[in-house]
A and B are shown apart, each in its own frame.
Chain A
């Protein structure tokens, strides 16, 4: 009915074309470590590694930059992956008992992973339970033409490859039983097949191990039992010795046995040797064992598990044994699987393993087996981002080379081994061109560390780790001495890996980071109100840190802080390694978590805010400049702190019940897969849903009032050199926005560079703006006379950016959760606005100003406001006209942590956490795309992809190669664009001529009361106004 009011845009074909050249959405690459990995495989010929996850994803990694992703149609856990060696194909077994064949195909001169077919083992006719045909193990013969499947029922089935057709020569237990001696049978079944291993020398023979302990060497051609090994201990895994003369079995009692295979004796009762390495007390099972021969001496035995049940049953261990060398690698998370990289050449006599690769639940650890002491090899990718939980992140684009080198050298001194040349997994070729500019991603962690990552390319490499815990006295300092005492005891544990989920002190957590990339200054703010100013230094230093306390409550009375104490700083001097070294520590009182921080290195100022107020600090003179309380008198919640008891017990109880209920329902859904009672449960679930309809969710419609809880939280801070006092003199200003829609603008008196030491900075409150809708202010940015965001500090003085337009009138863009609004300065009169929530019903969560460069011409670029909403969609608006440009669905709206973690770059890309350990990188720009571009050259005997029925979905191929396809049109387009720009096109973002047409940009009157002007000034202002009116006809204010 009233739709005509919301006139659809995009009638203008010129503008549409420009938009297409500027904006394109694609999720490009996943950084970090796959969440919940469940399977691991390695192809020694192609030197590729594959990791399967519980959500049904398969990721292939080779040399740094070589990455491919595939996603199964069903989200079932990948339990096993096997490569068809050298063919660029692999088989995956899922939790739902299906087998899938994947292939690396070349398309557009790069490699993608696609699924070819799938296979589901049919149930045996006449048998009710489907679990008998549940596949427990898979054996892919080296010749790659036959696949053997061991099942829970004890049968072994054979499939022809690569067609995945079931051969009619299945081997069932009764056939084996005929050759088993009578006394071993004792009427029991042999149990599920636990292991299938191909004879290393004779490919016709396979070793079959049953759960009960029986191991059979079976000849596939003649279909008869060659050897029987009558093991009596429950079997876990088998591995051949390279020669085929013996094999090793591992067992559930924590021991392993070595068996000799002799043709003379078809029925072996006892092994050559049997060891329980961590005995004699009961031990846990040895889940997997590998036996590798070496040229130099004793074989290398590697096994996972087997720890003494009582004392170390909860440890996640992998043992490496060779002669007298014995190391128990002690991991912080469960061992999923492991393999060795060794010589697979049949001519060679020995395995000679070079590296051990262990996939853990939370990280990947690689051990160099050739160097003495078996050191770990740092991985160039799959970095465990979440080694301590990520609490915030910050992206720096276009890092100056100087800063880059210094960060790298600081990182190298921290970890000297940090070169990736001896990385053993190096298949494939990275075709991606070297990134044009360096990008840094900084992640703040719960344990008080800040990690620096190289985010320039596809693989996110760790560069440098900065810890802030060292300047505080925490309870956990004696931890190290405990560890050293533990070093002497048996078993010889060695802590490996960096995943450490346990935070020493939650107050250390990093909340906000701000960096000046030109001066190498860094401000880090944490949970206990600590704000640390750091300076990048190339020398080791031993100095005292200046500590200052800023009381943000000022003299408000009647408030008591019931939260945590501030972190006590260490007294005396502290030694700092080269890198970022703390200089000043500012502690906010009360010590609530810092909610906003910003740095202006040119003015030597930092601004910080908490839930109580904000402060301004001159770190050059170590002098607090300003503290302002933002608390509303009715706001009691802000005082309680995070550990309050009274907060809302009722609420939290309700929430936890809801969570329990929810998990119960979802639990049911998972269980229905094979159960015959699923129908009943389905009906029950429907009933439950019906119940939910009887008592529906209600939402109260109440306008926002001033006394909402936590209204004083400072949400954003910004420094700008702009016009606050009057329209002729610009100067330093600071802006702060709060949760209740208040904006405070201060005019700063910053002395010139030479006088920094003598003269102090002064701040004067210039303006206070109360947004009528009272929504939290998410961001504040000042735009220059041309509508461009102001450059960063030092950018202009070092000739790195164009000087901002100081002639035209500046404006300030204030983004609240509900609206975007541009105000003219210095009067703070509204110019344009967009009411997002009123129109779309969504709220702004993250916002950033990005620069988008056209894909067809490098010279044409536009600034845009990028905004992520609580529904997980991304809107792009032109600046300063605030016209909606495009909208994309990006994150599921249920994924609250994903939305909260999103960070945008200045060039139209972004990152968000898809799991605690993985960043998804996405691009909104049609030009700036960072995606894997790699090639794996394979040779296959028969190519299947030619007759593959459909092109299955592939996670890697979502992006368009606009740059290439558009190249031809460039000329024409550029012309069109120019003509579009020269004529006053309605939808052009920089023209505000059409504001009145844009119903969404209704203008509002700001009553700016300016009582301080003299008559002359007033006249001046009228002149200014008249000038404003003389500009394009549209800036109407009425």
Chain B
């Protein structure tokens, strides 16, 4: 039945059609595939289009395999948008009456068609046999680390990427000076090196299990540390702490990734097996990924950089504030006190300078944008 509504046009190639279902009501709108925005904005949009501003929602979508998967953070939201082909089917549930068991991969085997899947959602009372224990969905499911560039590094080396995600958990390791033995044409030579000296229990580094005490640090974000002092390396690591990629020579060489001894063509993909590729997709623009499959470039997408390095700019302009403040405050306090802050695409990436909205959603967004803007008037601090 979905197919009947599809209107093939040039515009839709870049747009994602969204069909959202809440209770018995459907809403249709479209999103720009390359700039999906953030989850909280999307969530606000859903609440708006369904006209249920104060309802806590559980958002699910049907993926290509027909599984009902949750959308509750930026990562799986982006994933959903990128995988929509081209229709994205959403199923909204009230949080208080959500049926968590409906989610999961086995939903396909139990209920073959998406329609049946929807039926489950529509009539939660039909499955009274479900255990009453509610196991909450992981709210913020993110990669903490990954091994990257396995195919281009010598087997004795390991390149580890630590994801900080702006959270408060410390990176949690110490480095020290030391000397390592290198093989040179003149024989063995002792050279100064930087080593991991200690792990902070419970820190990010320890929790990954990819770094260990006495591992020699060879590079920090692509810059060799040889010839640099301990203080310099420390400063480099701290300056890169938002997206730290360190190449180490593990002290324990037994856990190294073993590569296929087969042809060069296949080694790449086998190397990829150790890469946490799913989490990676969540982090990068799919279009870019498709164009640049090389592992070398994947470390340094400008996109990533921007994510960690967004400096926070807070505007506080008196003139406009005076005019709008009173009304805005009234709106905010009465109608939508708990509304998450929402910013339409239109303004989100204004620096880009393009009107980033498709025709179908354009008017909606513009309207929404004005409203959203006025809602923000009293908030001088905006967390990005």
Contacts and interface: CB of A to CB of B under 8 A. Distances in A.
Instruction: Give the residue among A698, A767, A840 with the most B Cβ atoms within 10 A.
Output: A698
Interface stretch (A106-114, A393-401, A540-548, A999-1007): A999-1007
B315 A766 contact: yes
B309 A1012 contact: no
B351 A1008 contact: yes
Contacts of A1021: 350
A769 B373 contact: no
Contact of A771 (B171, B300, B311, B355): B311
A696 interface: yes
Given A838-B236, A841-B235, A772 B312 contact: yes
Contacts of A703: 164, 170-171, 238, 241-242
A840 B315 contact: no
Interface stretch (B59-67, B268-276, B319-327): B319-327
B348 interface: yes
Given A701-B241, A702-B170, A1012-B315, A696 B232 contact: no
Contacts of A842: 232, 235
Contacts of B112: none
Contacts of A662: none
A1009 interface: yes
Nearest to A818: B239
A871 interface: yes
A830 B170 CA distance: 28
A1025 B349 CA distance: 12
Nearest to B198: A698
Contact of A2 (B172, B198, B222, B319): B222
Nearest to A828: B313
B353 interface: yes
Contacts of A765: 316
Interface stretch (B68-76, B134-142, B173-181): B173-181
A1004 B305 contact: yes
Contacts of A1038: 302, 306, 349, 352
Given A838-B240, A1003-B302, A1037-B353, A701 B173 contact: yes
Nearest to A1021: B350
Interface in B295-340: 296, 299-300, 302, 305-306, 308-321, 324
A698 B176 contact: yes
Contact of B311 (A704, A770, A838, A839): A770
A1012 B232 CA distance: 44
Nearest to A705: B168
A1026 B348 contact: no
B315 A1008 contact: yes
B153 interface: yes
Interface stretch (B42-50, B94-102, B223-231, B252-260): B223-231
A701 B240 contact: no
A725 B317 CA distance: 7
B177 A5 contact: no
A914 B321 CA distance: 53
A1023 to B, nearest CB: 10
A798 interface: no
Contacts of A773: 239, 242, 309
B120 interface: no
Contacts of A827: 350-351
Contacts of B309: 772-773, 1004
A249 B223 CA distance: 70
A1013 interface: yes
B197 interface: yes
A438 to B, nearest CB: 40
A955 B298 CA distance: 51
Given A1004-B310, A1012-B319, A1021-B350, A702 B172 contact: yes
Given A770-B312, A771-B311, A1006-B313, A1029 B305 contact: no
Interface of chain B, main secondary structure? mixed
A604 interface: no
A214 B67 CA distance: 112
A1012 B241 contact: no
Contacts of B171: 701-703
Instruction: Give the residue among A696, A701, A771, A1028 with the most B Cβ atoms within 10 A.
Output: A701
Given A703-B242, A767-B316, A1004-B310, A843 B235 contact: yes
Contacts of A705: 168
Interface in B150-198: 152-153, 164, 168, 170-178, 197-198
Given A696-B176, A698-B176, A703-B242, A1009 B315 contact: yes
Contacts of B247: 1
A842 B171 CA distance: 20
Given A773-B239, A829-B351, A1 B313 contact: no
B284 to A, nearest CB: 14
Contact of B177 (A697, A828, A871, A1009): A697
Interface string A1-17: 11101100000000000
Contacts of B232: 840-842, 871
A1006 B312 CA distance: 7
Contact of B178 (A1, A696, A704): A696
B313 A1007 contact: yes
B370 A1015 contact: yes
B317 A766 contact: yes
B234 interface: yes
A772 B313 contact: no
A689 to B, nearest CB: 12
A830 B174 contact: no
Interface string A845-885: 00000000000000000000000000100000000000000
A322 B237 CA distance: 71
A835 B222 CA distance: 13
A768 B313 contact: yes
Contacts of A1004: 305-306, 309-311
B95 to A, nearest CB: 28
B180 to A, nearest CB: 13
Interface string A1013-1033: 111001001100110110000
A830 B309 CA distance: 10
B17 interface: no
Interface of A: 1-3, 5-6, 696-705, 725, 764-773, 775, 818-819, 821, 827-830, 835, 837-843, 871, 999, 1002-1015, 1018, 1021-1022, 1025-1026, 1028-1029, 1037-1038
29 contacts: A1-B152, A1-B222, A696-B177, A696-B178, A699-B231, A699-B233, A700-B174, A701-B171, A701-B172, A701-B237, A701-B238, A764-B317, A764-B318, A765-B316, A766-B316, A767-B316, A768-B314, A770-B313, A818-B235, A828-B313, A835-B239, A837-B238, A840-B232, A840-B236, A841-B233, A1004-B306, A1010-B347, A1021-B350, A1038-B302
Given A773-B309, A841-B223, 9 more contacts: A764-B317, A769-B313, A771-B311, A1005-B306, A1007-B312, A1008-B315, A1012-B377, A1037-B351, A1038-B306
Interface of B: 152-153, 164, 168, 170-178, 197-198, 205, 219, 221-224, 228-242, 247, 296, 299-300, 302, 305-306, 308-321, 324, 343, 347-353, 355, 370, 373-374, 376-377, 382, 384
Would you list the 8 A-B pairs with minimal beta carbon distance, nearest first? A1012-B320, A841-B232, A703-B241, A2-B222, A1025-B353, A837-B239, A770-B312, A699-B234
